[in-house]
Chains A and B, each alone.
Chain A
């Protein structure tokens, strides 16, 4: 609370009291008061930056296969004033029982971690090392898990955004039509929403995911999954928008506009939609985690994103079997970013919901 008082200019507070601040300024001011919301927003911006800049931030390319270094456990980062950050080298021992190669650290070798490392192709990485450096271990094909998580974030995190964008368009267009014109159009749209909500979503997603043709390219699959996720999720949004439009339709300012001879399009875009924006943004923010989890669940079951494209769900698919997890527990690590991002979106949405209604207390 102390922080709020120091950041808020006293003149703004008096301005709010006498109604000089715009709606947007009021929302922003109120949003800043919610500490969890601000932190979550910052975390999400950081994650999106890492995802977009994965080529630069990830130490390796996500498909860099290294068959001699399969299932390497996470290596610890050390620091000394002589070498800076470094990791120890790897020593492989064949397990006499399982005949698998197992890795331990080789204290005699030190691989320094270099910042702005230039790899063999001449590409710069934020940090990497000339020797093997796997801070989160490797998977069954010797690929660096940390890099794969960063690249996977691209798919997982944008898929939620694109999906929500699609369902916003569908939901607000149909919701507006439904609320504004009413009658049989409204009836039809409402029945469709009811029927869609009568399906349990994961089984329906599974069925639709299984229907995507096996010959599709990664990009086609990506958009296919997005469409599948948003087909089912637009209904709730459409209902909310319809409710708002219904409430505003009979209000005085809309009546006045109509009496002044405004057309339908003008009324909808200039008088009805602005009243729904803040509502839509809140619902959208709260819908993104559902989409991210949906993609993760689908890919986890092998019905979503397909390799070589990678997403958090694809990474978790490898951790599906308990026997695998018991031997290579670090494979569960992609669950951490999923959790962090979903929690952050939930907190952000909650904060936005409180802020979107700045006149209430």
Chain B
């Protein structure tokens, strides 16, 4: 709870940092349009309505008290309630993030196991090199190159999450199918960085465990190597990966933000960039708050999952 409070204060201060505000530019526009300052009254009224004349702390109190009641203020740019703008974007962000998370674990764990059981063979070296490349490639570059690549091969731009036909259409099976067809690219692109580093961690963990006495005992009992690895070693080696789950969330959310901007996906990323550039403070503040909130919740879930999987861990 204190963490959330601090996050909200920091978010609010950051979005207030740029000099001037949206209304300053609005004034400029109105002055140019009407050529005199009679429109100033209009602007003053706007300022009053958005509470921009109040001191900072009071504005924060107004904003945060609205926030907890689900009233996030109004977007200057879209002239609509922030509330109406963000929810489906948050839903798509979650969809892509969770998809990437699943992709990350499903791909990284088997590759890590393979790499560890084939240590120092050429396939291990190859996977190691690949994981270094995977860790190093920035997600937005991968997105860009995939897009050009896909355009070259299929001749259609892989822009957005839906084909033009389904854009704005009501939900049907056809639309869902279309969504899945578009979803895999961002999911993979966002997941690649995490997959590479997770694979390294899995490999390291498993190698540590494979050197332990109980694994030797299992081998000495005459168990098959596959059983030793699968039933004895992997079960122990996988535990730390669950605690890493919480740590990999910021990367995935960040990745999905920037990849969405490149690929034009209807997630939080593009609208955040836009609102920051236009100093649309309430929209930007709400989005940053929401992303942090998602992280806090994600960390909580990861902690719970860890306690559930490993009964030795007890929180005071």
Footprint of B on A, CB under 8 Å?
A: 191, 194-195, 197-204, 206-208, 210-211, 213, 289, 293, 296-297, 300-303, 316, 319-320, 322, 325-326, 329, 332, 335, 338-339, 342-343, 346-347, 350
Contacts and interface: CB of A to CB of B under 8 A. Distances in A.
Contacts of A293: 138
B288 A322 contact: no
Contact of B258 (A194, A202, A329, A343): A202
B199 to A, nearest CB: 14
B295 A200 contact: yes
B137 interface: yes
A329 B284 CA distance: 34
B7 A198 contact: yes
Contact of B288 (A199, A296, A332): A199
A319 B145 CA distance: 10
B288 to A, nearest CB: 6
Nearest to B253: A200
A301 B257 CA distance: 11
B132 interface: yes
A7 B170 CA distance: 70
B18 A322 contact: no
Contact of A301 (B10, B15, B132, B261): B261
Contacts of B6: 191, 195
A325 B144 contact: yes
Contact of A203 (B133, B135, B157, B287): B287
Interface of B: 2-3, 6-7, 10, 14-15, 17-19, 132-133, 135-138, 140-141, 144-145, 147-148, 151, 157, 159, 249-250, 253-255, 257-258, 261-262, 268-269, 272-273, 276-277, 279, 284, 287-288, 291-292, 295-296, 299
B14 A208 contact: yes
B141 A289 contact: no
B122 to A, nearest CB: 15
A211 B151 CA distance: 36
Given A293-B138, A297-B140, A207 B284 contact: yes
Contact of A211 (B3, B17, B273): B17
Given A195-B7, A208-B14, A301-B258, A339 B272 contact: no
